Amino acid sequence: MARRACIIAGGMCKWGVREASLVDMVQEAAKECLEDIPGLKPKDIDGFLFASSYAGRCSFQVNTAPVMAERLGLKPTSICARVDVLCAGGSTGILLAKGLVESGMADIVMVAGGEKLYTPQKWEVFYSELASIDHDWDAPHGLGLPPPFFALIAKEHMKHYGTTKEQMAWVSVTNYNYGSENPKAQFQKKLTLEEALGAPPVVPPLTLYDCCPITDGAAAVIIAEESRAKDLTDRPLVYIRGGAQASLHSVSANWPGEHLADWAHLRVAAKRAYESAGVGPEDIDVAQTHDCFSISQIIEVEELGFCKKGEGGSFIESGQTRIGGKIPLNTDGGLLSCGHPFGATGIRQAIEIMRQLQGRARFQVEGAEIGLTHNLSGLNVEHTIVIYGREPK
């Protein structure tokens, strides 16, 4: 009988500007994760994957997986490794855990991730981001700083498809208003359209509320083989049905689309993810997309197949990404409200989708049975998708 991987528990610490070390925050997240499933003990966890890209630079700790495992009281016997693909680290760790469980190499894997990004000298954070792209080619031109690059993307989308600043603002308003009731989010405030449109500029056309913040935080989930999962929880099982990752370039000069608002690599990842899960975009009931900038979510709803290319702005403006619309998105606040501690983001997304499919989300999508998470990574060079379901494939 085929082995199947399920996500059965999750937890996160408070995200934001924290007077806490990376270890402190990972311990907080893991504690909440284990409390989410009382029948599981640390000794039962035989695998550990830790997603982080800036642990060495900002926390002065390399070889982080065994360090974190020790601090969490884990003794992994199947796998203990760090995953480093920046913003996609958490979701990549979940896909790797799925493979480990379904291959029989592991039975129960904790996937944790986090970053300590704030330092006393805040300029260091932005300087460090230049290390996430090709340091010989793009970094000397400052392209590793996300706001300027995504401002170029926004201008291209506006030019080719007529997207408006107001449509981008609706992304921020919708996501912030979900996040206003999320006690773990970095920003817990409601946002009006007028506030979003009147916000200070960052890099035109992007303003303050179009951009996700720099964030300290951590999150953790448990991935278990189906029979072990049934022994550990009475909640509805949530299966990891499939997923995919595509990286078609690294240097900006080799962009895979016709222009910067054409995300061919996301289309490739989406096609493969849907095929692996045995579903299509019309089957997704709730999703978490990588809203690092408001324009990102507009393009993502297009390339994921939720609407036609070029119609993402009007799709979101018309309320189709709110509960009651075609595809509710980022119902915990997304990156714009929760923040973005790179390695933890895909894990936070997985927690929200798990809760949605189990019927225990804060803003519940009624009858949700299939959910999707998406991350882009680095200078928009990598797209990672995970698809979850109440039923196995």
Looking at the annotation, which residues are catalytic?
A: 87, 340
The sign of the dihedral angle between the CA atoms of 213, 253, 246, 116 is: negative
CA–CA separation, 114 and 344 (whole Å): 5
CA angle in degrees (0–180, nearest 5) for 115-185-373: 75
Residue 72 contacts residue 28 (beta carbons within 8 Å): no
Strands 286-288 and 382-389: unpaired
Query: CB–CB of 361/333 below 8 Å?
Result: no
Between the CA atoms of 241, 354, 55 and 202, what dihedral angle is there, to the nearest 10 degrees?
Answer: 100
Task: Please tell me the distance from the alpha carbon of residue 273 to that of residue 280, in angstroms, as a whole number.
Answer: 9
Gap between the Cα atoms of 14 and 184, Å rounded: 4
**Angstrom distance (rounded) from CA 223 to CA 381:** 27
- Give me the amino acid identity at 45: I
> DSSP per residue over 37-51, as a string?
STT--GGG--EEEEE
**Residues 320 and 302: beta-carbon distance below 8 Å:** no
The candidate with the shortest Cα–Cα distance to 111, out of 51, 154, 153, is: 51
Q: Considering just the CA atoms, what is the radius of gyration of the chain in Å?
A: 19
